[in-house]
Amino acid sequence: MNKPALNPKFFLMYVANPLASAAFYTQLLGHPPIETSETFVMFALIPGTMLGLWARHTVEPAASGSPGASELAFTAPDVQAVTTTYNAWRERGVVIAQEPTAMDFGYTFVALDLDGHRLRVFARSEQ
Protein backbone atom coordinates (compact mmCIF):
# COMPACT_ATOMS: atom_id res chain seq x y z
CA MET A 1 0.00 0.00 0.00
CA ASN A 2 1.41 3.41 -1.01
CA LYS A 3 1.16 6.13 1.59
CA PRO A 4 1.23 9.78 0.55
CA ALA A 5 4.37 11.65 1.59
CA LEU A 6 3.60 14.29 4.19
CA ASN A 7 5.99 17.21 4.46
CA PRO A 8 5.70 19.87 7.16
CA LYS A 9 6.02 23.09 5.18
CA PHE A 10 3.57 25.40 6.94
CA PHE A 11 4.19 26.64 10.46
CA LEU A 12 1.28 28.41 12.16
CA MET A 13 1.39 30.59 15.24
CA TYR A 14 -1.73 31.92 16.90
CA VAL A 15 -1.51 35.65 17.59
CA ALA A 16 -3.72 38.36 19.06
CA ASN A 17 -3.37 40.76 16.12
CA PRO A 18 -2.09 39.37 12.79
CA LEU A 19 -1.54 42.83 11.29
CA ALA A 20 0.58 44.01 14.23
CA SER A 21 2.48 40.72 14.15
CA ALA A 22 2.98 41.15 10.39
CA ALA A 23 4.72 44.49 11.01
CA PHE A 24 6.93 42.86 13.68
CA TYR A 25 7.92 39.92 11.45
CA THR A 26 8.41 42.14 8.38
CA GLN A 27 11.15 43.94 10.33
CA LEU A 28 12.73 40.72 11.61
CA LEU A 29 12.61 38.81 8.32
CA GLY A 30 13.42 41.78 6.12
CA HIS A 31 10.54 41.22 3.70
CA PRO A 32 6.76 41.67 3.66
CA PRO A 33 4.16 38.90 3.89
CA ILE A 34 2.84 37.31 0.71
CA GLU A 35 -0.75 37.25 2.02
CA THR A 36 -2.49 39.58 4.45
CA SER A 37 -5.99 39.77 5.90
CA GLU A 38 -7.52 40.88 9.20
CA THR A 39 -7.30 37.33 10.59
CA PHE A 40 -4.33 35.74 8.79
CA VAL A 41 -0.90 36.69 7.47
CA MET A 42 1.48 34.44 5.52
CA PHE A 43 5.24 34.85 5.08
CA ALA A 44 7.36 32.87 2.65
CA LEU A 45 10.51 31.72 4.42
CA ILE A 46 12.93 29.49 2.52
CA PRO A 47 11.54 28.08 -0.75
CA GLY A 48 8.54 25.90 0.01
CA THR A 49 8.27 26.83 3.71
CA MET A 50 5.66 29.24 5.05
CA LEU A 51 4.97 30.96 8.36
CA GLY A 52 1.33 31.74 9.07
CA LEU A 53 0.13 34.13 11.77
CA TRP A 54 -3.49 33.30 12.57
CA ALA A 55 -5.81 35.36 14.79
CA ARG A 56 -6.14 33.25 17.94
CA HIS A 57 -9.83 34.09 18.39
CA THR A 58 -10.69 32.66 14.93
CA VAL A 59 -8.81 29.34 15.12
CA GLU A 60 -11.04 26.27 14.73
CA PRO A 61 -11.03 24.16 16.80
CA ALA A 62 -10.15 26.69 19.48
CA ALA A 63 -6.48 26.80 20.44
CA SER A 64 -5.66 25.69 23.96
CA GLY A 65 -1.87 26.08 24.05
CA SER A 66 -0.12 29.24 25.13
CA PRO A 67 2.75 31.18 23.53
CA GLY A 68 6.18 30.16 24.73
CA ALA A 69 5.40 26.44 24.72
CA SER A 70 7.40 26.00 21.51
CA GLU A 71 9.99 27.86 19.47
CA LEU A 72 10.55 29.08 15.95
CA ALA A 73 14.29 28.59 15.40
CA PHE A 74 16.48 30.46 12.92
CA THR A 75 19.86 29.02 11.99
CA ALA A 76 22.82 31.35 11.58
CA PRO A 77 26.03 30.48 9.74
CA ASP A 78 28.33 31.36 12.65
CA VAL A 79 28.67 32.97 16.08
CA GLN A 80 29.21 36.44 14.58
CA ALA A 81 25.89 36.20 12.71
CA VAL A 82 24.13 35.29 15.97
CA THR A 83 25.69 38.31 17.69
CA THR A 84 24.85 40.63 14.79
CA THR A 85 21.22 39.44 14.76
CA TYR A 86 20.97 39.82 18.54
CA ASN A 87 22.25 43.41 18.37
CA ALA A 88 19.91 44.33 15.50
CA TRP A 89 16.84 42.83 17.21
CA ARG A 90 17.69 44.43 20.55
CA GLU A 91 18.11 47.83 18.86
CA ARG A 92 14.60 47.39 17.38
CA GLY A 93 13.21 46.86 20.87
CA VAL A 94 12.58 43.13 20.55
CA VAL A 95 12.18 41.52 23.99
CA ILE A 96 15.12 39.24 24.76
CA ALA A 97 14.36 36.18 26.92
CA GLN A 98 17.89 34.74 26.85
CA GLU A 99 21.06 36.71 26.23
CA PRO A 100 23.58 35.19 23.77
CA THR A 101 25.19 32.17 25.35
CA ALA A 102 27.10 29.01 24.47
CA MET A 103 25.07 25.84 24.98
CA ASP A 104 25.84 22.21 24.18
CA PHE A 105 24.34 22.47 20.66
CA GLY A 106 25.82 25.88 19.77
CA TYR A 107 25.78 29.62 20.37
CA THR A 108 22.27 31.02 20.82
CA PHE A 109 19.87 33.65 22.09
CA VAL A 110 16.08 33.69 22.49
CA ALA A 111 13.76 36.61 21.74
CA LEU A 112 9.99 36.95 22.11
CA ASP A 113 7.48 38.19 19.54
CA LEU A 114 4.49 40.40 20.39
CA ASP A 115 2.51 37.41 21.70
CA GLY A 116 5.38 35.83 23.67
CA HIS A 117 6.30 33.19 21.08
CA ARG A 118 9.94 32.15 21.48
CA LEU A 119 12.30 32.97 18.60
CA ARG A 120 15.65 31.19 18.90
CA VAL A 121 18.64 32.19 16.77
CA PHE A 122 21.58 29.82 16.86
CA ALA A 123 24.77 28.68 15.19
CA ARG A 124 25.56 25.02 15.62
CA SER A 125 28.70 24.01 17.50
CA GLU A 126 31.63 22.81 15.48
CA GLN A 127 31.45 19.03 15.57
Domain spanning 1-65: CATH 3.90.180.10: no
CB 15 within 8 A of CB 58: no
- The DSSP output letter for 108 is E
The per-residue pLDDT for 119 is 96
- The pTM of this model reads 0.87
pLDDT tens for each residue of 25-65: 999 999 999 999 999 999 999 888 999 999 999 999 988 88
The per-residue pLDDT for 82 is 97
CB 102 within 8 A of CB 36: no
Domain spanning 66-127: CATH 3.40.50.12160: no
CA distance 20 to 62: 21
The per-residue pLDDT for 127 is 54
Beta-strand ranges (E) seen in 1-127 are 10-15, 35-36, 40-44, 50-55, 71-75, 95-103, 106-112, 118-124
pLDDT tens for each residue of 5-21: 777 889 999 999 999 99
Domain spans of the chain, in order of start: 1-65, 66-127
